[in-house]
Amino acid sequence: MSCRSQNFITFVSLVLLAGPSQSFELIGSRWPTASVTINANIASFFGEVSPSGISWNQAFQEAATSWNIPTTFNINVDNSFSDPCAGIDLSNDRVTGNNQNGVDFTNNLCGQLFGLGTLAVTITLFELDNRTETAETDMVFNSNQSWDVYNGPWRGNTSDFRRVAAHELGHVIGLDHEDDVPALMATFVAVGSAIETPQADDINGVNVLYGGDTLAPIVLQLEEPIAGEVATGVANLRGWVVTLAGINRVELLVDGISQGNVPVGGRRVDVADNFPAYPDAINSGFSMAFNYNELNAGTHTVVVRAFDNSGNSSAQTATFTVESFANPFISDPSRVNLSGAEVTNNDSDIFISDLEADGQIFDVILRWKPATQNYGIIQIQ
């Protein structure tokens, strides 16, 4: 490879309170293919193992995997050492590189002092006559800082090497800093921050660069009422929604008439497991109690529409059937009497004949409902 120009791009992460967090930003150059090999055998400054017992090499590989799984880009980690400052002497303004992509802890930035609060710097080299194509990247981690490998909130006194490595690898791929939406590529990391891996905006940036599918700004799922099924009594109206820009509200319409907003913020571990790239997916549930008996017996339509903080929206519709007693709310248990009723069943249903409810006689059919995990009324006659 020919001698590279002295143009380079640096990126830093600072331990400061994050400012308000637009969409992904790109540094202006990218690799010719959607892959790169990083020479990473990190053991020169602190030994091979972090204070928590996790090796620096393992943590770096996990950081690379956090990009490999959700994006079209592949970071191959080679278990060999390459000095990230080889061919780079910033004190004398000499930048030629060494044809390899290196990473290590250093106590200076290739001949210069680290800036105040700097955790790590990625140096991107490109050919003088082709500034849109990345030729080499090198990462230096500030050994003057306190380092470990850990999960959970960012600590004020110790930096997490794995998530800083993941951030720097975002720069290696071709992403710039992003401070307008929740993103791993934020310029600053705040004490208490829970972002450890690439977020949806980060993933979209990589996939736009290298031709992959981007993530939708909003993913919405209405779980109850279930389209095509029967609803009756007081039951949940529920579902979940994840967004890139943060949820603003979830509106409810029944038969075209607004019913206000549905409370959002319920804990959904299952959604967080399936949509880890979306910020705050753990608190994505929306739910409210709804008395379906207040609707006339017959077919009805519910629409839930979610809005994010950037003005995007998504809607889901469910058309269902209401079965109800004459009285929409029977508060006195004694007004429901089974003394003259007959109960039979087949393989799937329970039949109750001559059930007395609020002075009237009904035949009722119950069927197992997976969504609620109990038997529910599917017919009242």
Each residue's pLDDT tens digit, 190-212: 899 999 999 988 999 999 999 88
pLDDT in the model for residue 10: 41
Integer angstrom CA distances of residue 104 from 25, 46, 86, 118: 26, 10, 11, 15
CA-closest candidate to residue 316, choices 236, 239, 230:
239
pLDDT in the model for residue 26: 67
Residue for token digits 């109800």? 324
Each residue's pLDDT tens digit, 280-307: 899 999 999 998 888 888 899 999 999 9
Q: Is the pLDDT of residue 347 over 60?
A: yes
Question: What CA–CA distance (Å, rounded) separates 84 from 39?
Answer: 9
Question: What CA–CA distance (Å, rounded) separates 313 from 291?
Answer: 26
Integer angstrom CA distances of residue 170 from 198, 214, 250, 338: 8, 16, 33, 66
Each residue's pLDDT tens digit, 72-102: 999 999 999 999 999 998 888 888 889 999 9
> Dihedral of CA 237/277/247/159: which sign?
positive
Q: Is the pLDDT of residue 157 over 60?
A: yes
Question: What CA–CA distance (Å, rounded) separates 251 from 171?
Answer: 38
Starting at the edge strand that comes first in sequence, how are the strands of the sheet with 257-261 ordered? 230-231, 313-322, 298-308, 247-254, 257-261
| Average of per-residue pLDDT across 42-48 | 78
Q: How far is C-alpha 87 from the chain's CA centre?
A: 39
How does DSSP classify residue 93? T
CA-closest candidate to residue 241, choices 316, 179, 317:
316
Residue 67 parent element (H or E): helix 56-68
215 vs 318, more confident: 318
pLDDT-based confidence at residue 130 (cuts at 50, 70, 90):
confident
